[in-house]
Amino acid sequence: MRMLLVLAAFILSGSATAADSNSFQMRNAADLVGVCRTGPDDPNYASAAGFCHGVLVGAYQYYNSVVAGADRFVCAPNPTPTRAKVMNDFVAWAGANQRYMKDPPIDTLFRYLAEAYPCKK
């Protein structure tokens, strides 16, 4: 558990190495959305998309590993959407939910996921 907390702190601190590490800060949700919003014409696109996918997938996999099935509030549908779809939909959702952009990035990601992919109970 301690190792996962260290890994999460590393990811959220913006210490990841990328083409331009100053662009990949994770101080709040706006930072995450900014990285995920990077377009294909940007020279940092591949790094930004990979970083965004890594944060989104990593956060969701961590959630799956620590939250018991009965307690889950986010459930992937079948078929599972692509990472690109989730990333693009998250960015669009964030544009319509600006009030969360100063909140922690992972909290905001899970607000989106809970709306987009709620568990059917």
Write down the pLDDT at residue 21. Answer: 52
Domain assignment of residue 108, yes or no: yes
**Is 30 inside a domain boundary?**
yes
Report the number of distinct structural domains present in the chain: 1
**Amino acid, res. 60:** Y
The whole domain housing 58 covers 2-116
Q: Is residue 6 part of a domain?
A: yes
Report yes or no on 36 lying in a domain.
Answer: yes
Whether residue 14 is predicted with pLDDT greater than 60 in this model: the reply is no
- Whether 68 is covered by a domain: the verdict is yes
State the pTM of this model.
0.79
Q: What is the largest CA-CA distance in the chain?
A: 44
**Amino acid 120: pLDDT:** 83
Q: Mean pLDDT over all residues of the chain? A: 85
Residue 14 forms part of a structural domain:
yes
Local confidence band at 25 (pLDDT 50, 70, 90 cut-offs): confident
Whether residue 121 is contained in a domain is answered as no
94 in a structural domain: yes
**69-91: pLDDT as tens digits:** 899 999 999 999 999 999 999 99
